[in-house]
Structure 1
């Protein structure tokens, strides 16, 4: 049974997609053991609590230094003894020590087809604003392992979504969530839970 900790900053729609997929049997061999947010007002914490999952806030604001926060965050994650850490809209920089500790055991969902519209400064609506400004016809989402760079780890799954006439950043954001993010994040967790993802250098291989 794969023990999963989900890290969130806001509403938790991707967390909800994971919980729904576990309930529906689309994610197998998996238990969500905890949810951690940097924001005590994140609705994601309510979603977790309503699902009977331990939820807590570990915020940089509650610590005098970033080093103290990093130590508390790593300790908080470690306390769940997770096999996999899922960043589902988590907007705090992950400490390098944590990345090293959970090498190839931490994944992130990004709302673009990496390597387009990714890296420092590309998050949330900014991604979709940039895509519309550039006039691309296809956008999408990517699930990848987390490494020391920003959105540079080995890619696990990607799904394309078409841009439509009249799209605003908000409309496009929701379509990417609905058609891509909420589908490939649960699928990636299920693949990992069933031992089907292998990392080879900067690439992944999905085994049949």
Structure 2
């Protein structure tokens, strides 16, 4: 079966052009830019370059503008909540065909930017909105190799860390994926080293104490971000830019021409 590099540096003969999408603090985007600069300093060049930052928030809460300013990168924001309110929705959703069509309309703006800046890859670094832009790289705070009894990924969505803790998982992992039309359903690229779950009380007690549970989840999310996301997200982008990741007609992932059904471990 024919496989195709996600990015082919031999054909492009230039660094991979990346658009970084974010919604909040943007720590993953910061780490990506730091990794680019580290490669430039240590090796003389980087196989990728972050060309611009895009945010779906324009209310001043997103740190994208600050990150862009500090790194002399163009920044664009388009508030998705105000966009939906303008079209009669109380909040952004994709639960109906009308709402999904509206999301496609919203995405026309970043798609124009992608075309104008000749972007090769979109890196979702804490971008909290579903996007209809296919083939992005996303980082998810869960081990997506774990399946439920129906054979589907067990820990998807915004509450993945909480769900894994309450299910009694002993370790947490982050994964990078190549996005498709689903939510956290795309093929896995990389998986981080395990981060141990450390609980101050039994799970049953956590279930009865919402504040304590929230604190535990937030602490584990932060640890996983530092020990998982910040390590595999930049490396995934680097490997793609080097032409090492490829995909076949069935959307299966290859690394250095070898099939990797569950991605590669850090």
Query: Normalising by structure 2, what TM-score?
Result: 0.69
CA contact (8 A) 1:59 1:69 kept: no
1:13 match? 27
Structure 1 unaligned residues grouped into runs of 5+: none
Structure possessing the higher radius of gyration over alpha carbons: 2
Q: Which moved more, 1:181-190 or 1:160-169?
A: 160-169
Count of residue correspondences: 197
Moved over 6 A (4+): none
Counting only pairs closer than 5 Å after superposition, residues 16-165 of structure 1 correspond to structure 2 as: 16-25=30-39, 28-40=46-58, 41=60, 42-60=62-80, 61-62=82-83, 64-65=86-87, 66=102, 67-95=104-132, 98-99=133-134, 103=135, 106-116=136-146, 117-119=154-156, 122-123=157-158, 126-159=159-192, 160-165=194-199
Question: How far, CA to CA, are the matches of 1:94 and 1:139 in structure 2?
Answer: 25
> Counting strand residues as a fraction of each chain, which structure ranks higher?
1
CA contact (8 A) 2:142 2:172 kept: yes
1:2 match? 16
Superposed CA offset, 1:97-154 (max 9, x none): x32xxx4xx11000001144533xx22xx22211211111011100010101111111
CA contact (8 A) 2:246 2:255 kept: yes
Question: How far, CA to CA, are the matches of 2:139 and 2:232 in structure 1?
Answer: 9
Question: Is 1:203–2:252 an aligned residue pair?
Answer: yes
SS at 1:73 equivalent: helix
Structure 2 unaligned residues grouped into runs of 5+: 1-14, 88-101, 147-153, 201-214, 258-266
Q: Which moved more, 1:160-169 or 1:108-117?
A: 160-169
CA contact (8 A) 2:155 2:164 kept: no
